[in-house]
Structure 1
Amino acid sequence: MKSREKCVPDPAERMDLSDVGEWKRVSPRYVVVETAGTIVFGLVLTGAATALWLLADAQWALYAMVAIVVITAATVAFEPRRVRAIGYQLREDDLIFRRGIMFTRFVSVPYGRMQLVDITRGPIARWLGLADLKFVTAAASSGVLIPGLAEADAESLRDRLVELAESRRAGL
């Protein structure tokens, strides 16, 4: 039983990604995209709460409206920090993606498992010259989206990932 215990790495060692190299970050302009989306969502919810308050004379809708405004303002205040927490890194055998402040999520996508690498551009992101890079693997839960990349960076990263994926699947 002792030999089995030696083979299993300590969980702290598995998640220690401090020495894997330098993380590449998304464009700082991506804050504008996230902030615009948050404000539009907050305005829609505030409008709905205002309509309920004025038309249906629902007093609770006034409190909901105030809560929506406060939550939207707090979310907008944290957007720059949240965007700075998004990063990715190309390693020898896989791509690591991370996001999140309080609850950090790390996803490792092996190059040989990538089936689709796609670039999407929303209207605000296109106006700012940004794009999102999405990769899909055979496992539905492991789809990764790297948002807010400069268009040229997204296209070169897509080409590099497709090249790596094809060579790993071919066993080269």
Structure 2
Amino acid sequence: MGAVLVLAVWRAVIAARAVRAWGYAERDKDLLVRHGLLVRHLSIVPYARMQYVDVTAGPLERAFGLATVQLHTAAAASNARVPGLPPDEASRLRDRLTALGEDRAEGL
């Protein structure tokens, strides 16, 4: 019984760290997305390179009231996602990124 409790606490600590490992920052010309516990990844996606932005929510995300914003660019390797957002924040981010992408793309 004690081993199960220790394992459950350990899983909760790892899950909390995994959630904190995701982050994003909106800058003037691009969006920064970071993630990773052991290996840190930092993606910089210029607004002008975004082709479209999706908001998705699978059954588990909907059960917890969360959504994921997925950014699509011409290069498959540069696609980024921001999971675990409240649906209102995900919609706001999608609308903002879409508007910024359209504004920046006009200058190309």
For normalisation by structure 2, the TM-score amounts to 0.87
**Counterpart-to-counterpart distance in 2, 1:124 and 1:102:** 25
RMSD over equivalenced CA pairs, Å? 1.8
Specify the code of the residue in structure 1 equivalent to 2:63.
W
Q: Does 1:139 align with 2:54?
A: no
Per the alignment, residue 98 of structure 1 pairs with: 34
Specify the code of the residue in structure 1 equivalent to 2:89.
D
**Counterpart-to-counterpart distance in 2, 1:139 and 1:75:** 35
| Equivalences for residues 26-105 of structure 1 within 5 A | 75-105=11-41
Per the alignment, residue 89 of structure 2 pairs with: 153
Count how many residue pairs are aligned between Structure 1 and Structure 2. 102
SS in 1 for 2:54: strand
Q: CA deviation at 1:127?
A: 2.0
Q: Does 1:170 align with 2:106?
A: yes
**Counterpart-to-counterpart distance in 2, 1:160 and 1:139:** 21
Per the alignment, residue 39 of structure 1 pairs with: none
Query: Greater CA deviation, 99-108 or 132-141?
Result: 99-108
Q: Does 1:119 align with 2:55?
A: yes
Q: CA deviation at 1:145?
A: 1.1
Would you tell me which structure has more strand in proportion to its own residues?
2
Residue segments in structure 1 that go unaligned for 5+ positions in a row? 1-68
**Counterpart-to-counterpart distance in 2, 1:145 and 1:163:** 18
SS in 2 for 1:107: strand
Structure of greater Rg: 1
Aligned identity (percent) is: 46
Would you tell me which structure has more helix in proportion to its own residues?
1
Specify the code of the residue in structure 2 equivalent to 1:145.
R
For normalisation by structure 1, the TM-score amounts to 0.55
Residue segments in structure 2 that go unaligned for 5+ positions in a row? none
Moved over 2 A (4+): 72-77
Specify the code of the residue in structure 2 equivalent to 1:149.
L
Q: CA deviation at 1:107?
A: 0.2
**Counterpart-to-counterpart distance in 1, 2:26 and 2:64:** 25
